[in-house]
Amino acid sequence: MNEKSISQKQLYFMVLQSQIGIGLLALPSNVFGHSKNDGWISVLLAGISIQILILLLWTLLNGFKGKSIFEISVIVFGKYVGKFINILYTVYFLIVMALLAFLFANLLKEWILGYTPFSILLLIILATTIYIGKSNLRVLARFYMLTAGVIIISIVLPWFAFTFNFEWAYLFPIGQSGVGNITMGAHDAIVAMLGFEIIAVVLPFVEGTYKQSLKNVSLANMTVTLMYVYFTIACYLIFSPAEIKIISEPVLYLLKAVSFPWVERLDLIFLSIWIIPMTTSLVTYFYLSSKGAAYTLHKGQRKYTIWYLPLFVFILGLFFSSEFELKQFSKYVAISGYIFSVFIPLLTLLVSIVRKKYNYRSSSV
């Protein structure tokens, strides 16, 4: 175990920065599809669901102190099945990484760099990801913590948009869309809040007890949920219901409309700030997938994986030619998200209890 450890505070920022990202920009209109103007309740519900998933994952990890998810699956399922599950995990992390990179490049193309080819944008994004993501965990944690300040700026910026057309009536009546729809909306929101899976790999390297870690991870999740609720309500107060349905990135759009004598196009400023949280979630999944590939194929060495995984993403990216294909792709990823953050951890937990492996302690700890 040559990876250096990180502190509790760094853990908080790692989870925070992994969870927030590109999902926020489209969140209010995505959630609106099902839960109408109760979207913010859906987001809240999604935050609670994520908390439950965190508890599930933590319970599993707590039973195997000092082991990451890759090691746990080998212990629980044996060498062959365990390895197979690890490969599945790696593929999942890689697919999420690809999705994030595609969405990121697509967003830049749509909003700023209209004439630049998609592949070039993807190349730049992946190059940055490699540059940051090839460092070890401690460097990553420091970077995540250092750049967390931009999130505060991004929270303040929408205040400028509140100077016009501020309509509380849009939020009422609360609960108009019914429980079923709000739950469906929560499903749309969960996708934007994934990223907590990082604990499955980094938790063994955190200083302090597992209980402290749980507290910080939950705190990070709470911060993300509140932030998302804040942005969702902000958008719902400014755009009328029929309008928000057709705006694909309401968070940017509300800033685009504001102009001052000294600055115009606040959306571009916001976007250039938001590039950091978008990159960090991308780096997180890059780290996870390269870690997984390294564990199953290269005896834990990330030396090679950091090169061929992004290359694979890049080549995959060349096949996507339209927004609709991208939407379809993100639907599949969302479904597999449930498999890998609910089904497999639950299965592993149950099997480990049945096979009496829970509370496993290897001699090396």
Partner 1 sequence: MKKGMLILIVLNLWLLTGCWDVRLLKDNSLVVGIGLDVEDDDKIMQTAVIRQIKQDSGGTGKPATSNVIYSAAGNTLRETRSYIQKQLGGKYASNKMQVLMLGEELAGEDILPIIDIFYRDPRNSLGAKLVVAEGTAKDLLNMKMSEDVFISEKIYKTLIETEEQTLIPGVTIQSVCPDLFDPGKDFALPYIKAKDSDNFDVAGMALFHDKSFTGTVLEGEDATVLLYLNGEHGESSTLSFNVNPEEEQFQNQFLTTNAFLKDQKLKVKVDKSHNVSVEINVKLNVTVVEYPKDHLFEHEKVLKLNKEISKQLTEKAEKVVEQLQKANCDYFGIGRELMAYHPETWKEIDWPDAFPTIDIKPKIEVEITGTGILK
CA torsion 81-98-249-20 (nearest 10°) is 60
Applying CB under 8 A, does 259 fall inside the site for partner 1?
Answer: yes
In angstroms, what is the minimal distance from the CB of 38 to partner 1?
12
Applying CB under 8 A, does 32 fall inside the site for partner 1?
Answer: no
In angstroms, what is the minimal distance from the CB of 354 to partner 1?
48
| Residue among 2, 80, 156, 172 that touches partner 1 (CB under 8 A) | 172
Residue number, 176 or 209, with CB nearest to partner 1: 176
How open is the CA angle 338-343-346, to the nearest 5 degrees?
A: 135
| Residue among 241, 303, 343, 365 that touches partner 1 (CB under 8 A) | 241
Applying CB under 8 A, does 272 fall inside the site for partner 1?
Answer: no
Residue number, 326 or 347, with CB nearest to partner 1: 326
* Structure-token pair, residue 70: 């890759």
Size of the site for partner 1 (CB under 8 A): 37
- Tell me the torsion sign for CA atoms 115, 121, 122, 123: positive
Q: Which region among 139-147, 152-160, 254-262, 306-314 touches partner 1 (by CB under 8 A)? A: 254-262
Rounded distance between C-alpha atoms, residue 107 and residue 279, angstroms: 13
Applying CB under 8 A, does 180 fall inside the site for partner 1?
Answer: no
Residue ranges in 184-213 that form contacts with partner 1 under rule CB under 8 A: none
In angstroms, what is the minimal distance from the CB of 173 to partner 1?
5
Residue number, 245 or 361, with CB nearest to partner 1: 245
Applying CB under 8 A, does 282 fall inside the site for partner 1?
Answer: no
Residue number, 87 or 124, with CB nearest to partner 1: 124
Applying CB under 8 A, does 165 fall inside the site for partner 1?
Answer: yes
| Residue among 80, 152, 156, 169 that touches partner 1 (CB under 8 A) | 169
In angstroms, what is the minimal distance from the CB of 304 to partner 1?
14
Rounded distance between C-alpha atoms, residue 234 and residue 255, angstroms: 11
User: What x-and-dash track marks residues 89-128 binding partner 1 by CB under 8 A?
Assistant: ---------------------xxxxxxxx--xx-xx--xx
Residue number, 117 or 300, with CB nearest to partner 1: 117
In angstroms, what is the minimal distance from the CB of 243 to partner 1?
4
Question: Which residues have a Cβ under 8 Å from the Cβ of 29 and sit 6 or more positions away?
Answer: 235, 244, 245, 247, 248, 249, 250
Residue number, 54 or 271, with CB nearest to partner 1: 271
Q: Which region among 43-51, 164-172, 199-207, 290-298 touches partner 1 (by CB under 8 A)? A: 164-172
Among left, alpha and beta (phi > 0; psi -120 to 50; other), residue 361 is: beta
Residue number, 166 or 312, with CB nearest to partner 1: 166
Applying CB under 8 A, does 139 fall inside the site for partner 1?
Answer: no
Applying CB under 8 A, does 170 fall inside the site for partner 1?
Answer: yes
Contacting residues toward partner 1, per CB under 8 A: 110-117, 120-121, 123-124, 127-128, 130-131, 164-165, 167, 169-173, 176, 238-243, 256-259, 264, 267
